[in-house]
Amino acid sequence: AQSVTQLGSHVSVSEGALVLLRCNYSSSVPPYLFWYVQYPNQGLQLLLKYTSAATLVKGINGFEAEFKKSETSFHLTKPSAHMSDAAEYFCAVSDPNTGNQFYFGTGTSLTVIP
Amino acid sequence: ETGVTQTPRHLVMGMTNKKSLKCEQHLGHNAMYWYKQSAKKPLELMFVYSLEERVENNSVPSRFSPECPNSSHLFLHLHTLQPEDSALYLCASSHLTGQGDTQYFGPGTRLTVL
């Protein structure tokens, strides 16, 4: 079975600083990878996804993520944090061998300090 | 209405009550999902429907009963729940259950079982 590990359940950055949220996955085959964001009292919104095309994926709101097969990682970055980026971020993997079942990490709560 | 909607947004029920959660998607998708989101735990996939047929049931207790009358609507019928069932219940939909199909989430129903 797939698993997703998000290192750091809480991350704090200053406004304007680099955002780095870590995600590692376990998979015996190349997976599909996703980052979602959840704002308070809302559902999950897709930020970006990797589906075996370019390894550097650009998403909404200035976020991007790089797929590194050798490190089994899919870390999320943003060059300059904005106050509106404060939210919960979830990494997910879809295993090609199990249809479209998603496996989610436990989430990382991002705080942006003014 | 656009996207995925869920009603009610909040629900408080006793352990002997019977209630239903409703999900509706306006995206023309053919697959729908129920997830349970508890604090500090990964999202748990409960049920998957594809073309109105249940294709996944991840060992969910029988006090949760899904219903998918058509490709746009999904229900979760609840009865004799336990306090540990209190959580955010998220509905999602995707084009199909194919590899890497993005899942789009509703805002969730916050359920409290007394």
Structure confidence by residue, pLDDT tens digits, B33-87: 999 999 878 899 999 998 888 877 778 999 999 999 999 999 999 999 999 999 9
Q: CB contact, 8 Å: B106 with chain A? A: yes
A 80-99 residues inside an 8 A Cβ radius of B? 90, 94, 96, 99
Q: B14 — alpha (psi -120 to 50), left (phi > 0) or beta? A: beta
Quote the Cα angle for A81-A55-A71, to 5°.
85
For A23, how many CA atoms within 13 A lie in the half-sphere containing its CB?
32
Using CA of residue A49, residue A52, residue A53, residue A55, what is the dihedral sign?
Answer: positive
Residues of A in contact with B43 (CB under 8 A): 90, 102, 104
Classify residue B82 as exposed, middle or buried by CB count within 10 Å of its CB (0-12, 13-18, 19+). Answer: exposed
pLDDT in tens, A23-50: 999 876 778 899 999 998 889 999 999 9
Residues of B in contact with A46 (CB under 8 A): 102, 104
Q: CB contact, 8 Å: A24 with chain B? A: no
Classify residue A14 as exposed, middle or buried by CB count within 10 Å of its CB (0-12, 13-18, 19+). Answer: exposed
Query: What tokens does A20 get?
Result: 């780095």
- The span from the CA of A107 to the CA of A6, in Å, is 6
Query: Closest Cα to residue A109, out of A77, A93, A85?
Result: A85
What average pLDDT does this structure show over A56-60?
Answer: 94
Residue B70 C-alpha from the chain's centroid: 15
pLDDT in tens, A66-85: 999 899 999 999 999 999 99
